[in-house]
C-alpha cells in the first residue's frame, strides 16, 4: 500500500504547479458534474416511470368505463324489455356511443404492448357480439305483441346475452388484471428508482464533500509549497544581491590594493633608472629602490596568494586530505613560533593548553593558518608592552563523553580594540577598521575573512568580542572531539 502511495506522491509532485492547480480545481468540478449527471439521469427515469404509471391508470379508467357502458347497455335492454318504457333506452343509446370510443382509446393506449393489443381484439369481438344481440332483442321488443314461440326465443336470447356478457366481462377483467400487474410492477420500479435517487444523491454528496476536502488540502499544500518557493527565491535573491555587493566591493578593493603597490613599483623603477644615469655615486640610492621594489612585490604576492586561497575555499574543500589533528601539539608549535615573533614588538606572549591530547578531524595546515591569522592580527594591533594570550580548552560537561565536548581556541590581546559598530563587518573581505594603520602594517583586510572561511568549512564557528582601547578576544569553536572515531569517516587518513 505504501509503494503505490509513494509512487503517486512522486508522480504528483513531479507535475508542474500549473497542472497541479488545474487538477485540484477539476476535482470538485468533476464531482459536481458527476452528481448533476447522476441526479439528472435518475430524475429522467423517475419522470418516465411516473408517465408509465399515469398511462396504466388511464388504461384502467378506460377499462372501467368500457365495462360500465356495456353493463348500462345490458341493463337498458333488459329494463325496456320488461317495462316497454323508453326511459331505459337512454343508457343503452349512450352506451352505443361510449363503447366504440372506449375501445378506440384502449387500442391507442396499449398499442406498444402486443399482448394487450391482442386482448383488446378479443374484447372488441365479444362486445360486438353483445351489441348485435342487444340490437336484435330491441327490435323484437319494439314489435309489440309476441307469440308463445317468440317468447321462448326471447328467453333463449336473454340466456345467450347473459352468457356473452359474462364472457365479455371476463375478457375485460383479464385485460384489467394484466394492467393491474403492470401498474404494480411500474410502481415498484418507481419506488426503487426513488430510493436509488436518494442513495445516489447521498453518495454523490459525500463524494463531493470528500472531493472538496481533498481539493482544499491539496490547495493548502500547494499554497505552502508556493510560499516556501517564494521564500527560497527571496532568500536566494538576497544572497545573490549580497554576493553581487561583495563582488563589487571585492573588485574595487582588489583593484585598489593592486594598483597602489604597482604604482610604487613603477615609480621606484623609473627613479632607479634615472639614478643609474648619474654614475656610481647613485648606486646606494638604486639599491634602496630595488629593495623597495622587492618588498612591494612580496606584498603583492601575499595579496594574490590570499585571494587565490579564498577563491579555492569558495569552490569547496575536499575531504580527502583530512585527518586527525592534534590541537595540543599544534598549539605547542605555534607557541614556539610566536614567542620569537612577539618579542620583536615588545609584546608579552602566553599560551595555555590541557595536558591531555585534544584531537579534531580536519586539515592541520588550514587550522594552523586560521590561528596564525588571528595571532598576526593581534600582534599588529597590540602596541609594545601589551599582551597576547593563546588558549586551548575543552568545552562541555567534563563528566560526559568526549563526543559531547567541543574544542575552543581563544586568542586574547590588549590592543587598540574594535568599535562596536565595526564588529559585524570584521569578517568581510577587505574590511579594515583603521585603513591607514592596516596599510602601514602591510594588512589587506583578508586575514579574518580567511580564518572565518577555514573554521566554517571545518563545521565550527568563530566569534569576536572587543572593547575599544582595552583589547579583543577571538574564539574558535570546533566540532565534537572523539578519539575513538575513524577519521576515514571524513574521507581522511589517520
Give the pLDDT band of residue 473 (cuts 50, 70, 90).
very high
pLDDT of 354 > 80? The answer is: yes
Query: Which 3 state secondary structure label does DSSP give 416?
Result: coil
Q: Give 392-413 pLDDT, tens digit per residue.
A: 998 876 555 555 678 899 999 9
In the numeric block, which cell numbers belong to residue 389? 594570550
- Which one has a higher pLDDT value, 134 or 328? 328
Residue 396, pLDDT score = 72
**β-bridge mates for residue 463, sequence order:** 475
Question: Region 106-123: what's the mean pLDDT?
Answer: 85
**CATH 3.30.565.10 for domain 322-483:** yes
In the numeric block, which cell numbers belong to residue 25? 480545481
Domain with CATH 1.20.120.1730 in the chain: 10-221
Instruction: Report residue 389: phi and psi, to 5°.
Output: -125, 140
Question: Which residues touch 317 (CB under 8 Å, ≥6 apart)?
Answer: 363, 366, 457
Residue-averaged pLDDT of the chain: 77
In the numeric block, which cell numbers belong to residue 22? 488545474
What pTM was estimated for this model as a whole?
0.45
Query: Which 3 state secondary structure label does DSSP give 482?
Result: coil
Are 404 and 414 spatial neighbours (Cβ–Cβ below 8 Å)?
no
Query: Which 3 state secondary structure label does DSSP give 476?
Result: strand
478 secondary structure, DSSP code: E
Are 374 and 466 spatial neighbours (Cβ–Cβ below 8 Å)?
no
User: What share of the chain has pLDDT > 90, as a percent?
Assistant: 7
Q: What's the order of all strands across the beta sheet hosting 348-352?
A: 348-352, 387-395, 406-413, 471-480, 461-467
Give the pLDDT band of residue 173 (cuts 50, 70, 90).
confident
Class of domain 10-221: mainly alpha
Give the E-state strand segments of 285-405 in sequence order: 323-326, 348-352, 359-362, 387-395
In the numeric block, which cell numbers belong to residue 311? 577563491
In the numeric block, which cell numbers belong to residue 370? 586560521
Which residue in this structure is represented by grid cell 586527525?
Answer: 324
Give the pLDDT band of residue 351 (cuts 50, 70, 90).
very high
Domain with CATH 3.30.565.10 in the chain: 322-483
Q: Rounded to whole angstroms, how far apart are CA atoms 354 and 364?
A: 18
Q: Rounded to whole angstroms, how far apart are CA atoms 281 and 264?
A: 23
Q: How many CB atoms lie within 10 A of CB 177?
A: 11
Question: Region 484-488: what's the mean pLDDT?
Answer: 42
Instruction: Report residue 406: phi and psi, to 5°.
Output: -125, 145
Query: Which 3 state secondary structure label does DSSP give 427?
Result: coil
Question: Region 151-159: what's the mean pLDDT?
Answer: 70
Q: Give 202-217 pLDDT, tens digit per residue.
A: 887 788 788 888 888 8
Q: Rounded to whole angstroms, how far apart are CA atoms 316 and 319?
A: 10
Q: Rounded to whole angstroms, how far apart are CA atoms 215 and 21?
A: 9
Q: Rounded to whole angstroms, how far apart are CA atoms 100 and 336?
A: 136
**β-bridge mates for residue 474, sequence order:** 411, 464
In the numeric block, which cell numbers belong to residue 189? 420500479
148-276 helix and 283-314 helix, angle to the nearest 10 degrees: 170
Q: How many CB atoms lie within 10 A of CB 403?
A: 12
Residue 492, pLDDT score = 33
Q: Rounded to whole angstroms, how far apart are CA atoms 4 and 10?
A: 10
Q: Rounded to whole angstroms, how far apart are CA atoms 371 and 330?
A: 10
Q: Rounded to whole angstroms, how far apart are CA atoms 352 and 330?
A: 12
Residue 491, pLDDT score = 33
Amino acid at each position: 500500500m505504501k509503494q503505490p502511495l509513494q509512487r503517486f506522491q512522486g508522480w504528483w509532485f513531479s507535475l508542474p504547479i500549473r497542472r497541479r492547480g488545474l487538477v485540484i480545481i477539476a476535482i470538485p468540478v468533476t464531482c459536481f458534474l458527476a452528481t448533476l449527471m447522476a441526479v439528472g439521469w435518475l430524475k429522467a427515469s423517475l419522470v418516465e416511470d411516473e408517465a408509465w404509471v399515469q398511462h396504466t391508470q388511464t388504461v384502467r379508467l378506460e377499462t372501467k368505463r368500457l365495462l360500465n357502458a356495456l353493463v348500462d347497455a345490458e341493463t337498458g335492454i333488459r329494463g325496456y324489455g320488461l317495462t316497454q318504457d323508453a326511459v331505459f333506452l337512454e343508457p343503452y343509446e349512450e352506451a352505443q356511443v361510449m363503447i366504440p370510443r372506449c375501445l378506440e382509446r384502449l387500442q391507442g393506449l396499449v398499442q406498444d404492448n402486443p399482448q394487450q393489443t391482442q386482448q383488446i381484439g378479443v374484447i372488441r369481438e365479444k362486445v360486438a357480439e353483445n351489441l348485435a344481440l342487444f340490437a336484435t332483442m330491441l327490435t323484437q321488443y319494439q314489435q309489440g305483441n309476441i307469440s308463445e314461440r317468440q317468447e321462448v326465443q326471447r328467453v333463449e336470447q336473454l340466456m345467450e346475452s347473459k352468457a356473452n356478457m359474462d364472457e365479455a366481462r371476463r375478457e375485460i377483467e383479464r385485460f384489467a388484471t394484466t394492467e393491474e400487474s403492470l401498474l404494480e410492477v411500474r410502481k415498484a420500479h418507481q419506488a426503487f428508482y426513488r430510493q436509488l435517487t436518494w442513495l445516489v444523491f447521498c453518495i454523490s454528496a459525500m463524494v463531493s464533500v470528500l472531493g472538496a476536502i481533498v481539493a482544499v488540502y491539496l490547495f493548502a499544500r500547494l499554497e505552502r509549497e508556493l510560499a516556501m518557493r517564494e521564500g527560497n527565491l527571496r532568500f536566494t535573491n538576497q544572497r545573490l544581491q549580497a554576493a553581487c555587493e561583495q563582488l563589487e566591493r571585492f573588485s574595487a578593493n582588489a583593484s585598489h590594493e593592486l594598483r597602489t603597490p604597482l604604482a610604487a613599483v613603477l615609480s621606484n623603477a623609473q627613479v632607479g633608472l634615472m639614478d643609474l644615469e648619474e654614475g656610481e655615486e647613485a648606486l646606494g640610492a638604486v639599491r634602496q629602490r630595488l629593495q623597495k621594489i622587492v618588498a612591494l612585490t612580496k606584498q603583492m604576492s601575499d595579496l594574490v596568494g590570499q585571494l587565490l586561497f579564498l577563491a579555492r575555499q569558495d569552490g569547496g574543500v575536499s575531504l580527502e586530505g583530512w585527518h586527525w589533528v592534534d590541537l595540543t601539539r599544534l598549539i605547542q608549535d605555534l607557541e614556539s613560533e610566536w614567542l620569537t615573533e612577539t618579542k620583536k614588538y615588545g609584546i608579552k606572549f602566553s599560551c595555555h593548553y590541557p595536558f591531555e591530547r585534544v584531537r579534531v578531524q580536519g586539515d592541520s595546515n588550514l587550522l594552523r593558518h586560521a590561528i596564525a591569522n588571528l595571532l598576526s592580527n593581534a600582534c599588529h594591533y597590540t602596541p609594545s608592552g601589551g599582551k597576547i594570550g593563546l588558549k586551548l580548552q575543552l568545552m562541555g560537561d567534563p563528566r560526559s563523553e568526549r563526543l559531547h565536548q567541543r574544542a575552543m581556541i581563544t586568542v586574547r590581546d590588549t590592543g587598540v580594540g574594535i568599535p562596536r559598530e565595526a564588529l559585524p563587518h570584521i569578517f568581510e573581505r577587505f574590511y579594515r577598521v583603521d585603513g591607514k594603520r592596516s596599510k602601514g602594517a602591510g594588512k589587506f583586510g583578508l586575514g579574518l575573512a580567511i580564518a572565518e572561511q577555514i573554521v566554517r568549512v571545518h563545521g565550527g564557528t568563530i566569534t569576536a568580542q572587543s572593547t575599544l582601547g582595552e583589547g579583543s578576544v577571538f574564539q574558535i569553536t570546533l566540532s565534537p572531539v572523539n578519539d575513538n572515531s575513524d577519521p576515514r569517516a571524513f574521507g581522511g587518513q589517520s
